[in-house]
Amino acid sequence: MSPGVRRPLSPAERWFWIADQISPLNVIARVRLTGHIPDGLLARAAASLAAEYPLLRVAIRADGDGKSPAFVPTSLDIPIHGVRGDRKEWERIVDDHELSTAVDWRSGPLVRIVDVSSDLPEEVHDLVLTVSHVIADATTALSLLQRLLVHADRLAATEGDGLVSSRPAIGAPEDLLPARYRRPWTIASTTAIADQLTAVLARSGRLMPEATVAPSRRRTRFLRRTLTATDVDTLVRRCREEGVTVHGALTAAMAMAVGPSATERTAGRICIGSPINFRAKLTPPVAADEAGCYVATVPSVVRFGDDRDLWSIARRINRSLQRRTRFEQHLAALFALRFVCPASAAKSSRVFGLMERSGLLNVCISNVGRYSFAARIGDWRLSGAQFIAGLPSSSYFLATVNTSHEKLFWNFSFADGPVSRRSARRLADGCVQNLLGAIDSQGR
């Protein structure tokens, strides 16, 4: 097995690493497995997973001032924690621990696994994989969890370690940008600045904190919501009829729910960020199952209220995102991080404080769309594959969405304190009710 990656963190990776030190920034994937897992099999599968992915064999080292962070190899195994519990135990673990506890980047590896087992009426395992945002986005987390089970199925029939060959290490995301986006001034960066100024001048709403809590003391919590297979089919059909994307409809439902709370008005503007996957834009393109963080967030400033329905709001959101994607502003934003990223966590308070006080992106929706997580691997039945994400200190409310196993999983992360659990429930319920009301002509 080749050693892990040894190189300095790129500006984007350093940004997430610093943010993680202020408030844990994890990406979490979960799936329910029905069937028997022999003792020790997950540990063997985790060893194969680490052998396959170079970024799962690293820790992070920095100098004495917390500057110049770099990936360095680690020989430590991926930790696996087994617990017994009921069918909701995994939710409590994510809410109480996985979102609020950083992965140990000093010793590595930058990933950990929890196996929540129960056996009534049959053996069931809720597998939770938590990975640092430094090396992962939502697609990465879901891919790693599925690869873990593929390795486990392969190893179930053998007694040896059955380790696999390592994938080649690839460069940092910024290193793979097309040349035109590795220059300070491009059409994309110019239009991005213009859009930011427009949003400020338009006085778009931001979600204001209910209570002041120091970023280092905040905890990210989450709420689960699910759309049934029937709801998903109806949603897709109505989106086609209305000429909008599912992401546009989900974001519009969110704008209608969050907008009045953010502005304390029945009509106005709200800014909602949407992470865009740019794997296909890199040179060479990066595979969907490769480890790394390959998303960049762009804003959409949309009007709500004044009798605007969900579909008209969704059309405006689609136009906004299409424009930003056409100019590839997300790629320019990725490169621009090198000019604003602090040198260390100790030097970050000014930049991150300004983002929290004045930044436009404290409400976001991360939607990976349909993710084809296997329904069966070997003798195991799989269901409920979904992801949850932690919040950077500058954000207060985040929706994470994927459609897998015929259902749409709509999870909501919130900064406990700046957003109370009562308010988070109201906002989450409002998002779902707005969407279901729009797709069902009978109302619900």
- Confidence (pLDDT) at 372: 96
Residues 136 and 241 in one domain: no
Amino acid sitting at position 346: A
Residues 185 and 146 in one domain: no
Among 108-117, 186-195, 321-330, 360-369, the minimum mean pLDDT is found in: 186-195
Residues 427 and 397 in one domain: yes
Q: How far is the C-alpha of 312 from the C-alpha of 242, rounded, in Å?
A: 9
Residues 124-174: tens digit of each pLDDT: 999 999 999 999 999 999 999 999 999 999 999 887 667 789 999 999 999
User: Considering the domain boundaries, does residue 2 fall inside one?
Assistant: no
Residues 186 and 37 in one domain: no
**Residue 403 near residue 426, CB atoms below 8 Å:** no
Q: What is the DSSP string of 3-55?
A: ----EEPPHHHHHHHHHHHHS--EEEEEEEEES---TTHHHHHHHHHHHH-GG
The single residue listed with the structure tokens 């909501």 is 412
* pLDDT category of residue 337 using cuts at 50, 70 and 90: confident
Q: Which domain holds residue 344?
A: 173-367+392-439
> Backbone dihedral region of 40: left (phi > 0), alpha (psi from -120 to 50 degrees) or beta?
left
User: Considering the domain boundaries, does residue 348 fall inside one?
Assistant: yes
Q: How far is the C-alpha of 112 from the C-alpha of 105, rounded, in Å?
A: 11
The answer to whether residue 394 scores a pLDDT higher than 80 is: yes
Average pLDDT for 297-324: 91
User: Considering the domain boundaries, does residue 403 fall inside one?
Assistant: yes
User: Considering the domain boundaries, does residue 98 fall inside one?
Assistant: yes
Q: What is the DSSP string of 147-173?
A: HHHHHHHHHTT-SS--PPPPPPP---G
Q: Strand pairing of 80-84 and 111-118?
A: parallel
**Residue 176 near residue 170, CB atoms below 8 Å:** yes
Q: Name 190's Cβ contacts closer than 8 Å, sequence gap at least 6.
A: none
Residue 173: other Cβ atoms inside 10 A:
24
- Confidence (pLDDT) at 1: 54
Q: Name 159's Cβ contacts closer than 8 Å, sequence gap at least 6.
A: none
Residues 130 and 249 in one domain: no
Residues 186 and 151 in one domain: no
Q: How far is the C-alpha of 390 from the C-alpha of 25, rounded, in Å?
A: 5
Total domain count, the chain:
2
Residues 234-246: tens digit of each pLDDT: 999 999 999 999 9
Write 278-286 long-range contacts (CB < 8 A, 24+): 278/173, 278/330, 278/331, 278/334, 279/139, 281/177, 281/178, 281/328, 281/331, 282/173, 282/176, 282/177, 282/178, 283/176, 283/177, 283/178, 284/176, 286/170, 286/176
Q: Name 394's Cβ contacts closer than 8 Å, sequence gap at least 6.
A: 352, 355, 356, 359, 361, 362
Average pLDDT for 312-320: 95
Residues 84-114: tens digit of each pLDDT: 999 999 999 999 999 999 999 999 999 999 9
Instruction: Say how far residue 147 (Cα) sits from the centre of its chain.
Output: 18
Stretch (H or E) spanning 286: none
**In CATH, what number is assigned to the domain containing residue 111?**
3.30.559.10
Residues 345-354: tens digit of each pLDDT: 888 888 888 8
Residues 181 and 310 in one domain: yes
Query: Which residue in 90, 111, 93 sits closest to 102, CA to CA?
Result: 111
Greatest mean pLDDT among 119-133, 295-309, 349-363:
119-133
Residues 15 and 141 in one domain: yes
Helical spans, DSSP H, in 308-439 = 310-326, 329-340, 349-358, 421-439
Residues 216 and 352 in one domain: yes
The pTM of the full predicted model, rounded to 2 decimals, is 0.93
* pLDDT category of residue 191 using cuts at 50, 70 and 90: very low
Among 72-76, 110-114, 341-345, the minimum mean pLDDT is found in: 341-345
Query: Which residue in 432, 411, 364, 436 sits closest to 142, CA to CA?
Result: 411
Q: Provide the token pair at 271.
A: 């800014």
More confident residue, 337 or 138: 138
Residues 240 and 111 in one domain: no
Residue 308: other Cβ atoms inside 10 A:
16
**In CATH, what number is assigned to the domain containing residue 427?**
3.30.559.30
- Confidence (pLDDT) at 317: 96
- Which of 155, 183, 201 terminates a domain? The answer is 155
Q: Provide the token pair at 82.
A: 């087994």
* pLDDT category of residue 255 using cuts at 50, 70 and 90: very high
